[in-house]
A and B are shown apart, each in its own frame.
Chain A
Amino acid sequence: MTVANAPAVLETGAGASPRRQSRAGLAKYLGLTPFALYVLLFLAIPTVLAVSTGFFTEDGSLTFDNVAGIFAPAVLATFASSFWVSAVTAVIGAVVGALVCYAMLGTRAEGALRTTVDSLSSVLAQFGGVMLAFAFIATIGNQGLVTVILRNSFGIDLFAGGQWLYQVPGLLPVYIYFQVPLMVITFMPALEGLKSQWAEANATLGGTRFTYWTQIAIPVLAPSFISSLLLLFANAFSSYATAAALISQGSQIVPLQIRSALVSETVLGRENMAGALALGMIVVMVVVMWGYSALQTRASRWQQ
């Protein structure tokens, strides 16, 4: 608190007249305007527009048709497939990612292993998109490296069940490929927050490794684990680039549905349908991210 008040004391202490002081105060607030304006123009307005266009028709009158359109069976089905792709990849990503974090416990944070894994994880988790789709086409696509090896050497046809890589199931391996690294980035701090004193206390009281994990570590880590799981879900739910690069036909998940609503020129008023879909998506994202931050707050109790 004293630190926070210090600058104000410094400025008034010089015996500035109240008038000068208030002008300085105003100037201070002026300093905030560029950022405020920028965020207003390119974050607040687009978000409000995105969410509200769903409530209007093309000529500007209020309607609930678009929002009701979300509950059309075809649209609900895309929400459902978005949900299950996100859920499956989040669970697998979280479990594998947590294992990798566990394996890195006890290595030096500044060491070569950790810095390399961290950087690799960030690349794959956040910036891959289109490029990861390419990598998977080159690997398990029709003529992919693994496809060809399996076909020629083992007689296994990856595509016996159809062209699954270019449909919703094809999203699973690629999404897992960026979910695991995201888990590594978000879950590692929680795992490092486990204190060695807890293990010592457990041992002193006659506990075993098993009781350490079941009675101490897992309960302490549970909020972090679930909040990371939610973040992974949100990440998969909102990701667009990979799906756009893999799936060229149809709009089987919500982001692709938004694409087709945005670029469609055949059906009039579809742009407002994009607004309704965006609204649906935001509702899901807000709920998930709210859960994420609530759990994070709870988890941070153990990370002091």
Chain B
Amino acid sequence: MLKFIEQALNGLQYSALLFLLSAGLTLVFGIMNVINLTHGSFYMVGAFCAAAAAAATGSFLAAIVAAVAGAGVYGLLVELLVIRHLYRRDHLDQVLATLGMVLFTNELVTVLFGRSPPFMDIPPALAGSVELLPGLAYPVMRLAFIGAGVVVAVGLWLLISRTRVGMLVRAGADDGEMVDALGVDVRRLFMLVFVMGALLCGFAGVMSAPLLAVQIGMGERILITAFVVIVIGGVGSVRGALIGSLVIGMSDAFGRAYIPLLLGRLMPSQLSDPLSSSLISASAYILMALVLLFRPLGLAPARH
């Protein structure tokens, strides 16, 4: 039972990370119909900026500021230089151009920060663990991560459903041309959403930096998973991104815990060990394929 709760918390933490990344991705896709592979690079930029700032100043607050600012500025540059010209192109062009930017960013970060960035410690305020239940101690940093995810989810929900900007975002996702015709500058709206997505990536980067390995290419793997999330949830809807993040985060955590056990009972261990590790890594993709086969538009598609 304790293992179950612990895995549920791990799953929530992974879901929070996925949500931070996929919320921006799904809005960018929903409003401007742009597939942006560079989104994962903002996460990497954020993590590297955070590690560098923490090493230089020793302060976690400075790391947060550096990560969010770094990712935001880089996001703005990418939007102005590349994404802006891809609105009216087909998906193939968008995939290729942003793939080019991913390769470029990886190399740029290597040149600026070196291949192995300074290791980032967990800030003292969030170090250690608390005993949630008798016998169940859980790291504070991970709890903080879950909390940050919840705060961002609630904040986004308020922003999108309660403010004027949010109303425009919803309207833009529904029918961008009509909103444009009504006199709203959709391009500026899109730039705002794009940079907001990059800021969230930067924030995700600083939160993961003490927990996961900060390295070149860290953005790509998580980006593909974030795409899986928005496709499962239904592209264009933040609600879908939340549902997708929970599905993938939870299935990953429980898969890690229980797939080896199950397979271990069915077959000898020299066969089950490698098989279960592949199955865990591929589980998100298998889930996505299944969802697409039965619900091609995702579990909670944006309503039109």
Note whether A and B form a binding pair. Answer: no
Q: Which residues of B contact A (CB under 8 A)?
A: none
Q: Which residues of A contact B (CB under 8 A)?
A: none
